[in-house]
Amino acid sequence: MASKTKIYMVLEFITGGELFDRIARNGKLKEDEARKYFQQLIDAVDYCHSRGVFHRDLKPENLLLDSNGVLKISDFGLSALPQQEDGLLYTTCGTPNYVAPEVVKDKGYDGAKSDIWSCGVILFVLMAGYLPFEDSNLMSLYKKVISCTEIFFLDSD
């Protein structure tokens, strides 16, 4: 909606809170619940990518749940469309624990692939209840993300 001098944004009111809160409260999710949310996430990200929109800050804090448990992506403040002829993005942004290695390397990156990496980290968090890469020192964290030499095993319940 708009007037001559103002633009109004009308958004859906989401009452279920962040997916992050659900993980913080309950820990890792059961496989069927994680699969349900992950499928919704992948479907939503695929839709955005089909329109040329790359989120660039996917994380559980930006995934909201409505009263029926339907996942909604929020906070498109860092989203982008490719501006260069090569189709790559060049702004280093995103939440460090979820950012793709190529974003950290600062040489241009494919926005879709970067979002998919973040989805993979989210899936890990859903299934494990903790982050795959963590360090209080930002540079050390980025080194872990770039090298990605650790192999992760999830406990089976």
pTM metric for this prediction: 0.88
| DSSP state string for 115-128 | HHHHHHHHHHHHHH
Q: Please state which of the ranges 9-13, 54-58, 127-131 shows the lowest mean pLDDT.
A: 9-13
- pLDDT value of position 2: 72
| Per CATH, domain 19-147 is 1.10.510.10 | yes
Per DSSP bridges, beta strands 71-73 and 63-65 are antiparallel
| 57 in active site | yes
- Residue 50 dihedral angles phi and psi, to the nearest 5°: -65, -20
pLDDT greater than 70 at residue 154: no
Radius of gyration of the chain (CA): 17
Residues 79, 55 contacting (CB under 8 angstroms): yes
Q: What is the distance of C-alpha 81 from the center of its chain?
A: 16
Q: What average pLDDT does range 116-143 have in this prediction?
A: 95
Tokens describing residue 123: 């899936």
- pLDDT value of position 82: 80
CB atoms inside a 10 Å sphere around CB 144? 17
For the chain, the domains span 19-147
Q: If residue 21 lies in a helix (H) or strand (E), which one and from where to where?
A: helix 19-26
Residues 100, 118 contacting (CB under 8 angstroms): yes
What digits encode the pLDDT tens for the residues 12-57? 899 999 999 999 999 999 999 999 999 999 999 999 999 999 999 9
CA-to-CA dists, residue 17 to 36, 40, 124, 154, angstroms = 17, 16, 20, 26
Q: What average pLDDT does range 115-127 have in this prediction?
A: 97
Catalytic residue among 21, 46, 57, 115: 57
Tokens describing residue 125: 């968090």
Per the rule left: phi > 0, alpha: psi between -120 and 50, beta: everything else, 82 is beta
